[in-house]
């Protein structure tokens, strides 16, 4: 099996210019994450605040930290200390909590809105039809800055199955960009994982979240 270093170098070489790579590091050790960062990873994606805190204690600001899991409001304070972006905002309550905690910390937190593009199939994220209302509601918050959209799509199976969900999310991204709302900068479209990222990039992703192809399978 190829090393983390070899995997990172290969993926970085093959990604088109302008596409950011987030190394999705859930269940991986601080040492593995550090190896990825030393091989050229700039952004680490974490799903759990506690796991991130342990990795952060070792890796620190040698990488940027993106939260890509489901954030519970009672973890927002700790999340704001560690993370440089929260990719999974899907409710006004969560946005307000991040805003409040960021204000207390003297920060403005970049966030993405998580779109439940698969509707029934996914637990988290805002439904496409409700996304504009959510963005309009939270855009005035002073200590978050909406910088784009994130979606998951189906996890397994034929990556072609994910294409319709990526298309829906890209359409929303373009529509919200055209609205040009104050406090909103539609800059990042985060979609695609190990099996689906080539399709996601074809559909307009400029941020991909890759775990298995960097770190190997999770056990």
Binding site for ligand PLP (CB under 6 A): 24, 26, 47, 68, 152, 193-194, 209-213
Quick one: 8 or 24, whose CB is closer to ligand PLP?
24
Least gap, CB of 7 to ligand PLP (angstroms): 11
Quick one: 122 or 143, whose CB is closer to ligand PLP?
122
| DSSP track, the chain | ---HHHHHHHHHHHSPTTPEEEEE-TT--HHHHHHHHHTT--EEEES-HHHHHHHHHHHGGGSEEEE-SPPPGGGHHHHHHH-SEEEEE-SHHHHHHHHHHHHHTT--EEEEEEE-TTGGG-SSSB-HHHHHHHHHHHTT-TTEEEEEEEE---SSS-GGGGHHHHHHHHHHHHHHHHHT-TTEEEEEEE---TTTHHHHHHTT-SEEEESHHHH----
Least gap, CB of 135 to ligand PLP (angstroms): 20
Quick one: 26 or 187, whose CB is closer to ligand PLP?
26
Least gap, CB of 130 to ligand PLP (angstroms): 20
| Distance of alpha carbon 213 from alpha carbon 3, whole angstroms | 10
Query: How far are the Cα atoms of 28, 43, 56, 125 from residue 211, in angstroms, in the given order?
Result: 9, 12, 17, 20
Quick one: 152 or 172, whose CB is closer to ligand PLP?
152
Least gap, CB of 160 to ligand PLP (angstroms): 16
Quick one: 24 or 33, whose CB is closer to ligand PLP?
24
Q: Which residue is nearest to ligand PLP (CB)?
A: 211
Least gap, CB of 103 to ligand PLP (angstroms): 27
Least gap, CB of 152 to ligand PLP (angstroms): 6
Quick one: 143 or 192, whose CB is closer to ligand PLP?
192
């Amino acid at each position: 099996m190829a090393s983390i270093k070899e995997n990172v170098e290969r993926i970085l070489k093959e990604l088109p210019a302008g596409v950011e790579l987030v190394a999705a590091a859930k269940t991986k050790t601080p040492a593995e994450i550090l190896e990825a960062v030393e091989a050229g990873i700039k952004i680490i994606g974490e799903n759990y605040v506690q796991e991130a805190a342990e990795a952060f204690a070792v890796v620190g600001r040698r990488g940027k930290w993106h939260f890509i899991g489901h954030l519970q409001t009672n973890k927002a304070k700790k999340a704001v200390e560690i993370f440089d972006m929260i990719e999974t905002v899907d409710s006004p309550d969560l946005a307000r909590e991040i805003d409040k905690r960021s204000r207390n910390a003297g920060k403005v937190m970049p966030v993405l809105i998580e779109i439940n593009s698969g509707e029934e199939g996914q637990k988290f994220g805002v439904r496409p039809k409700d996304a504009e209302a959510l963005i309009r509601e939270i855009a005035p918050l002073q200590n978050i800055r909406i910088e784009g959209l994130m979606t998951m799509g189906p996890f397994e199976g034929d990556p072609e199955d994910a294409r319709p969900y990526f298309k829906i999310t890209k359409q929303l991204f373009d529509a919200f960009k055209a609205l040009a709302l104050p406090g909103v900068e539609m800059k990042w479209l985060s979609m695609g994982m190990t099996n689906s990222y080539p399709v996601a990039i074809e559909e307009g992703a400029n941020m991909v979240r890759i775990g298995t192809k960097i770190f190997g399978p999770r056990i």
